[in-house]
Amino acid sequence: MGNVLSHYGAVAHEVVDKYEEAPGVVNEDICTFDPGKQYDLIVSISTLEHLGWGWAQTPKEPEEILKAFENLRRLLAPGGNLVVSLPLGFNTAMDQWIEEGKISFTRCRYLKRVSTSNEWREADWEEVRAAPHDHWLPTATGLRVGTIEG
């Protein structure tokens, strides 16, 4: 979900991205995407936090992320995995819903940016809980990698 991985190398898997036009990319909204099948693996790299919360989006529609997670769970095959990276501090509504359990994961790991040259290390939740989003660069200083098992 999201066409991020193709920027780091060739991809041979199905890619759904509402806005990015590129060969092999299905331009559909992940909130309503219905291919008539389920997936063993769904990966989203720093994309979901933008749903309903884009830089220029007015008005903001933060509920889109809840719809997206609901649909992604539906698209996940039994025994499959949804793996997402979510920068902390960018989408405050998403961060709050994760805290409240409206968005939940089977497992979570965390990364903390430790340098301006984009070096990261694994961290625990308490280290990144209040990690601000660096709007100057713009980049995250804390990252959640969440897994949902189907």
* CATH code of residue 138: 3.40.50.150
Q: How many domains does the chain have?
A: 1
Residue 12 falls within a domain, yes or no?
Answer: no
Report the chain's mean pLDDT, rounded to a whole number. 92
Burial grade of 145 (CB within 10 A; 0-12, 13-18, 19 or more): middle
**pLDDT for position 138:** 72
Mean pLDDT across 22-28: 94
Greatest mean pLDDT among 58-67, 69-78, 91-100, 113-122 lies in 69-78
Residue 77 falls within a domain, yes or no?
Answer: yes
Q: Give the global pTM.
A: 0.91
Query: Phi, psi (5° rounding) for residue 56?
Result: -100, 5
Distance CA 77, CA 128 (A): 31
Residue 13 falls within a domain, yes or no?
Answer: no
Residue 22 falls within a domain, yes or no?
Answer: no
Residue 66 falls within a domain, yes or no?
Answer: yes
Of 22 and 54, the one with more pLDDT: 22
**pLDDT for position 131:** 86
Strands of 1-96, DSSP E: 15-16, 25-26, 39-45, 76-87
Domain with 92, as residue range(s), is 28-149
Residue 14 falls within a domain, yes or no?
Answer: no
pLDDT above 70 as % of the chain: 97
Residue 67 falls within a domain, yes or no?
Answer: yes
Residue 1 falls within a domain, yes or no?
Answer: no
Burial grade of 7 (CB within 10 A; 0-12, 13-18, 19 or more): exposed
User: Which amino acid is present at 15?
Assistant: V
